[in-house]
Amino acid sequence: MNKKEWQEYSLILKELLNLDFSPVAVSCPKEPLLPGPGKKLRICRAILDAGKGQILQIDKNTNACFGAAWHLGFHKLSDPKVNSMVKKFVVEGEKLFCSYAALDTLILQMEEVPDNSACYFILSPLEKAEFKPELVIFVCNAEAACRILTLVTFINGIMPKIKIGGPTCRMSIIYPLLSGEVNISFYDYTARKICNVEKDKLLISIPYQRIPGIIESIDKCSAGKAKIEYPAEFREFLQKRLSA
């Protein structure tokens, strides 16, 4: 059976970037892909497990994280008492913000999450994805992240509108899906500890429509396979400058 284009892309990128994890395909269908009911899952953990080979499905019934229920759009945080309790936990419990005002400022910078109560989030290794994904997440180190971002900007020179500081699920999945932007997530610190994320790992999220252009750029860009060259006039300029 012939591999689908994104499955081929996965193998190319994993080898090129020397990735420990497969690129993770994310799709958000309205119908379940896997038979249910499935086990309870934390999506921050599921990203890592999918990168290691598993195919996972998360919906409002199998989501194991209260915060993700809101950040993924499974439930609205509409009860003032619950909202107040959550904020108190984040500020006074997790101690991720110095004040409620700081937390409110962050929340105002995050896009409104659509109603995903009837949706399923399917995560799988990109090379195992049966359907074209909407998003691809790379679990990688800083060098691989640098190369990916260089390949992204190589195409048109437009820097991604990076947003960091928010919850892992919202910034690595919802923000890039809604905005069409490439984004970086270092995992929020609570998720890093809960999931035992390796110290050198971070997440790069890329809307799938950007991936073919990245593949086409590999042989042309020095962050891919192209060699850095010095044009003759620039080489001569440097030699004169060094000998002056």
Query: pLDDT (tens digit, 9 = 90+) per residue, 110-161?
Result: 888 999 999 999 999 999 999 999 999 999 999 999 999 999 999 999 999 9
What is d(CA 160, CA 215) in angstroms, rounded to the nearest whole number?
18
For residue 196, is pLDDT > 90? Answer: yes
For residue 1, is pLDDT > 70? Answer: no
Tell me the CA distances in angstroms from 18 to 3, 13, 123, 176, 224, one per residue in order: 21, 8, 21, 24, 12
Tell me the CA distances in angstroms from 189 to 47, 84, 165, one per residue in order: 16, 21, 10
Closest CA to 206 of 109, 131, 138, 114: 138
Query: pLDDT (tens digit, 9 = 90+) per residue, 93-114?
Result: 999 999 999 999 998 998 889 9
Tell me the CA distances in angstroms from 140 to 18, 55, 117, 198, one per residue in order: 9, 19, 30, 10
Burial of 31 (0-12, 13-18, 19+ CB in 10 A): exposed
Phi, psi of 2 (to 5 degrees): -70, 140
For residue 15, is pLDDT > 90? Answer: yes
What is d(CA 124, CA 134) in angstroms, rounded to the nearest whole number?
12
For residue 242, is pLDDT > 90? Answer: no
Question: Structure pTM?
Answer: 0.93
- Own/partner pairs, 185-188, CB within 8 angstroms, 24+ separation: 187/44, 188/96
Instruction: Say what the pLDDT of residue 122 is.
Output: 96
189-216 in b/e form (b: 16+ CB < 10 A) is ebbbeebebeeebbbbbbbbebbeebbe
| Residue 8's pLDDT band (cuts 50, 70, 90) | very high
Alpha carbons within 13 A on the beta-carbon side of 228:
3
Residue 185 bridge partners (DSSP): 203
For residue 231, is pLDDT > 90? Answer: no
3-class DSSP state of 122: strand
Q: Say whether the peptide bond before residue 35 is cis (omega within 30 degrees of 0).
A: no
